[in-house]
């Protein structure tokens, strides 16, 4: 009896899995959530032109501290928009912060701009320390076409094909011009560390009824199939544990680990191991067209904020605190990295961040890998 029940349970779990990871719903499990065309009112979020205006204002009032420029020398977006970068700081450690690679993930751009403004204006000790020790490269709107269309992807001009820019940094080559532009610039900068900013749909913190406001993610799962062999297994865990400790007591935050395919009933979830994601490719030292011949690589992490314009789940009332938690997480992680505080964290503290017991890994190279298996890299 018991074993039949178990068999039924296993079979239904397997069916859920098959449905969950079929191609039709695969997109719903990607970082950032579903990719349906947006129909939410986005008047409260920043347009491309507004972002340019804010960047120019920040540069103008920064007394020479902030340098704003485009990547036009490498190319423009599919629809001919310039991709903007803001550079601040004078130190040797290079920190890369990118937002809105998914055009329907809006508040992260605001958070990045707020942090840039802090670096431009604040004279506080922690900020000055960061600017002495590091140079920060902000790309507040990686996907301007998607942002203007309120769409996760960009659209290829020739074919009309939609391309997820966060699956386009592959050794086989890039489909969208935005990928070629940003990759070429990344290979010129050679950063030491990167943070990537996203939004996700609704989920709940494991073992609670609290709606997750913020998820901490590593796109090659710690202790998973890929990361241990490329050297960033410990430092990425330390980074996320550091952010968790800094933010967990901040009002309104309910922080957990980024996972997909969460099954509340079974109490399980999947980590991702996505090698074609931009920050994964950075960690793996992608050398495309010999632009990165020395195979430069560096650790990278991502944040996921609750709510997505495509799901009508981005309430204006909550925008302020959702933006603020992003701002605070970014600010504290940059400071912790620059001062070496991050390296003092016990990597095992990563497991203090709430997470669903691991069922396996969702990959973009070998389907679903059950927990415990090791595909090697
Ligand atoms: Zn995203």
For ligand 1, the distance from its centroid to the CA atom of residue 4, given in whole angstroms, is 41
Mean pLDDT, consecutive 10-residue segments, the chain of 377 residues?
45 40 35 38 80 98 97 98 98 98 94 97 94 98 97 97 96 96 98 96 92 96 96 98 95 93 94 96 97 97 83 63 93 98 98 97 95 62
d(CA 212, CA 200): 10
In this predicted model, what pLDDT tens digit does every residue of 21-51 receive, in sequence order?
333 333 333 333 333 334 444 557 899 999 9
Q: Label the pairing between strands 193-200 and 300-306.
A: parallel
Beta bridge pairs of residue 211: 204
For ligand 1, the distance from its centroid to the CA atom of residue 152, given in whole angstroms, is 7
Contacts of 64 (CB under 8 A, 6+ apart): none
Q: Give the pLDDT score at 307.
A: 78
For ligand 1, the distance from its centroid to the CA atom of residue 359, given in whole angstroms, is 23
Task: Kindly list the domain boundaries of the chain, sorted by start residue.
Answer: 2-370
Q: Give the pLDDT score at 373.
A: 65
For ligand 1, the distance from its centroid to the CA atom of residue 47, given in whole angstroms, is 17
State yes or no: is 341 an active-site residue: no
What is the Cα 146 distance to its own chain's centre? 16
Q: What is the b/e burial string over 289-310, where b = at least 16 CB atoms within 10 angstroms of the residue's CB?
A: eeebeeebbbbbbbbbbbbbbb
For ligand 1, the distance from its centroid to the CA atom of residue 5, given in whole angstroms, is 39
Q: Give the burial class of 250: count Cβ atoms within 10 A of its Cβ; 0-12 exposed, 13-18 middle, 19 or more buried.
A: middle
For ligand 1, the distance from its centroid to the CA atom of residue 72, given in whole angstroms, is 24
In this predicted model, what pLDDT tens digit does every residue of 187-200 receive, in sequence order?
999 999 999 999 99
Note the CATH number of domain 2-370.
3.40.630.10
Q: What percent of the chain has pLDDT over 70?
A: 84
Q: Give the pLDDT score at 318.
A: 77
3-state helix/strand/coil string of the chain: CHHHHHHHHHHHHHHHHHHHCCHHHHHHHCCCCCCCCCCCCCCCCCCHHHHHHHHHHHHHCCCCCEEEEECCCCCCCCCCCCCEEEEECCCCEEEEEEECCCCCCCHHHHHHHHHHHHHHHCCCHHHHHHHHHEEEEEECCCCHHHHHHCCCCEECCCCCCEECHHHCCCCCCCCCHHHHHHHHHHHHHCCCEEEEEEEECCCECCCCCCECCEEEECCECCCCCCHHHCCCHHHHHHHHHHHHHHHCCCCCCCEEECCEEEECCCCEEEEEECCCCHHHHHHHCCCCCCCCCCCCCCCEEEEEEECCHHHCCCCHHHHHHHHHHHHHHHHHHHHHHHHCCHHHCCHHHHHHCCCCCEEEEEECCCCEEECCCCCCC
Catalytic residue among 304, 311, 341, 343: 304
Q: Are 163 and 276 in contact (CB under 8 A)?
A: no
Q: Give the pLDDT score at 14.
A: 42
For ligand 1, the distance from its centroid to the CA atom of residue 73, given in whole angstroms, is 26
Q: Are 360 and 370 in contact (CB under 8 A)?
A: yes
């Amino acid at each position: 009896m018991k074993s039949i029940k178990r068999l039924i349970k296993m079979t239904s779990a397997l069916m859920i899995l098959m449905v969950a990871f079929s191609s039709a719903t695969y997109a719903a499990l990607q970082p950032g959530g579903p990719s349906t065309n947006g129909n939410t009112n986005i008047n409260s979020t920043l347009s491309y032109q507004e972002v340019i205006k804010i960047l120019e204002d920040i540069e103008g009032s920064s007394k020479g501290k902030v340098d704003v420029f485009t990547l036009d020398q490498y190319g423009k977006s599919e629809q001919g928009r310039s991709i903007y970068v803001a550079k601040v700081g004078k130190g040797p450690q290079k920190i890369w912060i990118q937002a809105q690679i998914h055009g329907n993930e809006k508040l992260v751009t605001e958070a990045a701009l707020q942090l840039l403004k802090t670096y431009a204006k604040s004279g506080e000790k922690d900020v000055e320390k960061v600017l002495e020790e590091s140079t920060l490269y902000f790309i507040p709107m990686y996907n301007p076409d998607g942002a203007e269309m309120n769409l996760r992807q960009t659209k290829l001009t020739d074919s009309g094909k939609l391309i997820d820019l966060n699956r386009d940094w592959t050794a086989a080559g890039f489909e969208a011009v935005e990928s070629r532009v940003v990759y070429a610039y990344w290979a010129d900068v050679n950063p030491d560390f990167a943070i990537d900013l996203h939004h996700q749909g609704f989920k709940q913190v494991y073992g609670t009824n609290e709606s997750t406001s913020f998820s901490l993610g590593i796109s090659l799962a710690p202790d998973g199939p890929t990361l241990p062999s490329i050297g960033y297994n410990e430092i990425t865990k330390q980074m996320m544990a550091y952010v968790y400790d800094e933010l967990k007591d901040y009002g309104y935050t309910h922080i957990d680990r980024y996972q997909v395919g969460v099954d509340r009933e079974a109490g399980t979830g999947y980590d991702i191991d996505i090698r074609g994601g931009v920050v994964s490719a950075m960690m793996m030292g992608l050398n495309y067209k010999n632009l990165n011949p020395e195979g430069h690589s560096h650790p990278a992490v991502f944040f996921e904020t609750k709510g997505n314009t495509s799901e009508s789940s981005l309430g204006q009332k909550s925008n302020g605190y959702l933006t603020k938690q992003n701002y605070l997480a970014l600010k504290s992680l940059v400071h912790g990295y620059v001062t070496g505080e991050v390296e003092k964290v016990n990597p095992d503290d990563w497991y203090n961040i709430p997470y669903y017991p691991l069922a396996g890994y969702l990959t973009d190279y070998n389907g679903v890998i059950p927990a415990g298996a090791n595909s090697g890299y």
